[in-house]
Amino acid sequence: MKDTSSETLLLFGRNLEKIKKAKKLSYRKIAANCNIEHSDIKRYVDGKINPTLLSLLDLAKGLDVNPCELLKF
């Protein structure tokens, strides 16, 4: 049985990457638009770390999307 927490983080990361590519933004550009380091954004995309609620709000700001878009995976 696979770890559902890890799967969820990977699904979130794929969705984040999809939005990033659709907006044609780099990790650094997203980071410049919010309070998250570009290296942490990459770690979210890779499913390495679990974002907090405040991180989700910051990511949404950096991507210029509604926060609920980040959770549509």
Q: Which amino acid is at 60?
A: A
- The alpha-carbon radius of gyration of the chain (Å, integer) is 11
pLDDT digits (tens, 9 = 90+) for 14-54: 999 999 999 999 999 999 999 999 999 999 999 999 999 99
CA 10, CA 31: separation in Å to the nearest integer? 20
pLDDT digits (tens, 9 = 90+) for 5-18: 999 999 999 999 99
Q: Model pTM?
A: 0.89
Distance of CA 69 to the CA centre of its chain: 10
Q: Residue 66 carries which DSSP code?
A: -
Domains in the chain, start-ordered, CATH in brackets? Answer: 4-70 (1.10.260.40)
Give SS3 for 60. helix
